[in-house]
């Protein structure tokens, strides 16, 4: 697992506005940057900064048609987060299995 990639992804989704933007893009599909700014009552500059963080993480794609910038969610990069959480879950499952074996071994000795 690429630790730098994971850090970029987690940083991108650490902000509630960016999570909300990503959720909205997943729900509505491709949306103009100006429309996103209106939804969040943010300046175009503020929304653009959030979008750039999401773009750097590979969570959104930008398409420019004329002077209009369209943003769409791209969740293909989230597999790094899923893999990391999966490894954490595996660690806990192993620890719980070990604990279960200790408990059951104690029951047999009674």
**Angle CA 84–73–29, to nearest 5:** 140
How far, in Å, CA of 37 to CA of 44, rounded? 6
Which tens digit of pLDDT belongs to each residue from 24-79? 999 999 999 999 999 988 899 999 999 999 999 999 999 999 999 999 999 888 77
Which tens digit of pLDDT belongs to each residue from 73-99? 998 887 777 777 777 776 666 666 666
Domain 3-109 fold: Arc Repressor Mutant, subunit A (1.10.10)
Whole-number pLDDT of residue 78: 76
How far, in Å, CA of 21 to CA of 50, rounded? 9
Closest CA to 63 of 23, 27, 33: 33
Whole-number pLDDT of residue 70: 97
pTM, entire model: 0.72
């Amino acid at each position: 697992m690429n630790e730098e990639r994971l850090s970029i992804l987690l940083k991108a989704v650490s902000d509630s506005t960016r999570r909300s933007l990503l959720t909205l893009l997943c729900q509505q599909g491709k949306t103009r940057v100006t429309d996103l700014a209106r939804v969040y009552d943010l300046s175009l500059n503020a929304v653009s900064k959030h979008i750039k963080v999401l773009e750097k993480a590979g969570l959104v794609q930008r398409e420019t048609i004329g002077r209009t910038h369209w943003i769409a969610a791209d969740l293909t990069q989230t597999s790094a987060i899923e893999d990391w959480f999966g490894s954490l879950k595996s660690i806990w499952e192993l620890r719980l299995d070990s604990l279960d074996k200790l408990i059951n071994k104690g029951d047999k000795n009674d």
